[in-house]
C-alpha cells in the first residue's frame, strides 16, 4: 500500500478544510515537527481511514472531531497492486458517521469511480 494523498476536515487540531498532504512525488516521507504540531494526528487520520478506528481512541471516533466543529472527516487516496482506491470517512458528533471506499480509474482529481463500497469498516478486508 502506497499513500498518495491525505485530506483532513475538522480533524483533531486541523481546523476547517483545505488540509491536503500530497505524497505522489515522494518516495520517502518523514513526519517531523515540534510537540503539539499535529504529527500524531496525521497517523491517526490514516489509521481511521483504513481501519475505522485509531489506536489512541479505539471506537470512540467522535473525540477526533475538532473541538469547535460538529463534524469532521478524512479521505485517503492510496495505491495497492496498481489499483488506486480512495476511502472517505465523515464523522459526526450526533448521528451516524459514514464511510465510502471507491476504486478509481486513476490517481488524478478527475478519476472516475469504478466501484463503490460502503459496508466495510476495515478497508483492508476489501482491498487486500
Predicted TM-score (pTM) of this structure? 0.84
Cα distance between residue 31 and residue 42, in whole Å: 8
Give the per-residue pLDDT at 91. Answer: 92
How would residue 119 be classed by pLDDT, with cut points 50, 70 and 90? low
**Structural domain spans, the chain:** 2-127
Q: Nearest to residue 115, comparing CAs of 125, 128, 100?
A: 100
Q: What is the pLDDT of residues 56-97, one digit of tens each?
A: 776 677 889 998 999 999 999 999 988 899 999 999 988 788
Fold of 2-127: Rossmann fold (3.40.50)
Note whether 58 and 39 are within 8 A (CB).
no
Q: Indicate the helix (H) or strand (E) that contains 17.
A: none
Greatest distance between any 2 Cα atoms in the chain: 41
Q: What is the pLDDT of residues 1-47, one digit of tens each?
A: 899 999 999 999 899 998 999 999 988 888 888 998 888 999 999 99
Amino acid at each position: 500500500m502506497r499513500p498518495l494523498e491525505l485530506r483532513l476536515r475538522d480533524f483533531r487540531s486541523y481546523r476547517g478544510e483545505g488540509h491536503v498532504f500530497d505524497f505522489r512525488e515522494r518516495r520517502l516521507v518523514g513526519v517531523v515537527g515540534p510537540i503539539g504540531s499535529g504529527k500524531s494526528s496525521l497517523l491517526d487520520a490514516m489509521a481511521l481511514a483504513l481501519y475505522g478506528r485509531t489506536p489512541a481512541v479505539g471506537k470512540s471516533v467522535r473525540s477526533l472531531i475538532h473541538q469547535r466543529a460538529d463534524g469532521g472527516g478524512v479521505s485517503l487516496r492510496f495505491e495497492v497492486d496498481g489499483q488506486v482506491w480512495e476511502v472517505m470517512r465523515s464523522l459526526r458528533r450526533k448521528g451516524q458517521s459514514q464511510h465510502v471506499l471507491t476504486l478509481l480509474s486513476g490517481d488524478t482529481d478527475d478519476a472516475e469511480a469504478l466501484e463503490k463500497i460502503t459496508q466495510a469498516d476495515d478497508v483492508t478486508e476489501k482491498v487486500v
